[in-house]
Amino acid sequence: MVSHNNSKPEVTTMSPLQAKPAIIAHRGACGYLPEHTLQGVELAHQQGAHFIEQDVVLTGDGIPIVLHDITLELTTNVAVLFPERQQHDGKFYCHDFTLKEIQSMTAHERTDSEGRRVFPSRHAGPYDGFKVPTLAEELSLIDSLNAKGNHQAGVYIELKQPEHHERLGADLFKAVYDVLERFDRLNDPQSTVIQCFDPETLKRFKSDERFSSTLIQLICEGMPADLRGDFDRMQTAQGIGEIRQYADGIGPHIPLLFDKNGGPSKMVTAAKNLGLFLHPFTLRADSASLDGVNFTELHKKLFVDLQVDGAFTDFSDKTRDLIRQLEI
Ligand code: G3P
Ligand code: CA
């Protein structure tokens, strides 16, 4: 039984980006329902999230789908339906499947390579009816939920591994750009955010004269060497100054927010000095994002001590309630 508090969010007139702090529903409502499913989107909207996140990759026939990985085996039953399509590394790559084949699959709670749920207390099934949505299907659902009028949620779209797509001869930027244009979200800075680890992808949006929605540079430690970003430099004042030339904010991994004394890191101080949005990831009630700091304490650290502008959370309802309780 999924227990979550579903009290209706108060009707607000401010835009999602004006919310202080903004609650960014990480991968939908993945603390309760399988990540990146339309059922999770609906729940996150009901829980009052200011933004709902989409991670985006391309199918073999070039369709943007909402999926975190470039492979399918950890979040779908692809291995059952298409065992012969496994690659030598044991994985099932999205680009080896058409949209039609991917939408014949059932999506499920994230597992590790042994098939064990990464978060053991999360959704244990059954998974009938959970699917991998296209980006267009998810934006269409969010638009229809917003049209009901009692809560407006923005979209927060991450282009996943553009470098990988380029090596395949696929243009993830163009495919996402076309969907944004179709949904009139190219010039929608208050409710449409584009996020990416790749600076070059963000610079492509920045240099496009028709695009003026919000851009966020993601920053994390220990990233694969074949990615284009210099994530160590991005944590320096110089690096933040360079980011400011093409982005409106940063989305740092939570541990990067603090220096060794527990105070704000140089990256945080530099971002604030330059007026960049600070949207760290990820708040989880069932897993420590910062060693030795519990979920409530972490909300205080982020929203009271550091005064970040918003944060990604797996539990939008719990973050919403803590913001109220802590009178943030
Ligand atoms: O996009 C912000 C955060 O989600 C980045 O990490 O791995 O959850 O996409 P990941
Ligand atoms: Ca993401």
Q: For residue range 295-318, what is the model confidence (pLDDT) as tens digits?
A: 999 999 999 999 999 999 999 999
Given this model, what pLDDT does residue 149 score? Answer: 86
Per the domain annotation, does 176 fall within a domain?
Answer: yes
83 within a domain of the structure (yes/no): no
Q: What is the CATH number of the domain that holds 170?
A: 3.20.20.190
Strand-pair partners of 214: 193
For residue 169, the CA-to-ligand 2 centroid distance in Å is 23
The residue written with tokens 């059932």 in the block is 106
Rounded (to 5) percent helix, strand, coil in the chain: 35, 15, 50
| 280 located within any domain | yes
Atom of ligand 1 nearest to the CA of 251: 2
Q: What pLDDT, on a 0 to 100 scale, did the predictor assign at position 9? A: 53
What's the pLDDT at 297? 98
Q: Kindly state if the Cβ of 281 falls inside 6 Å of ligand 1.
A: yes
Q: Whose CA is nearest to atom 6 of ligand 1?
A: 281
Domain with 180, as residue range(s), is 16-72+133-326
User: Torsion over CA of 117, 119, 121 and 126, rounded to 10 degrees?
Assistant: -40
Residue with tokens 């229809």: 144
Please indicate, yes or no, if residue 40 is contained in any of the structural domains.
yes
What is residue 203's predicted lDDT score, i.e. its pLDDT?
98
Instruction: Write out residues in the chain with pLDDT < 50, as ranges.
Output: 1-2
| pLDDT tens, position by position, 18-75 | 999 999 999 999 999 999 999 999 999 999 999 999 999 999 999 999 999 999 999 9
Is position 60 within any domain? yes
CA-angle at 196, arms to 191 and 199, nearest 5°: 120
Provide CB contacts within 8 A for 45, sequence distance 6+.
Answer: 52, 142, 145, 146, 151, 153
Q: According to the model, what pLDDT value does residue 2 have?
A: 44
| pLDDT score at 14 | 86
Residue 123 annotated among the catalytic residues of the structure? no
What pLDDT is attached to residue 30?
A: 98
Residue 77 lies in a domain: no
Q: Is 40 in the pocket of ligand 1 (CB under 6 A)?
A: no
In this structure, is residue 126 part of a structural domain? no
Q: How many domains does the chain have?
A: 1
Torsion angle of C-alpha atoms 102, 112, 160, 278, degrees rounded to 10 = 140
In a domain, residue 202? The reply is yes
Separation of alpha carbons 142 and 281, rounded Å? 22
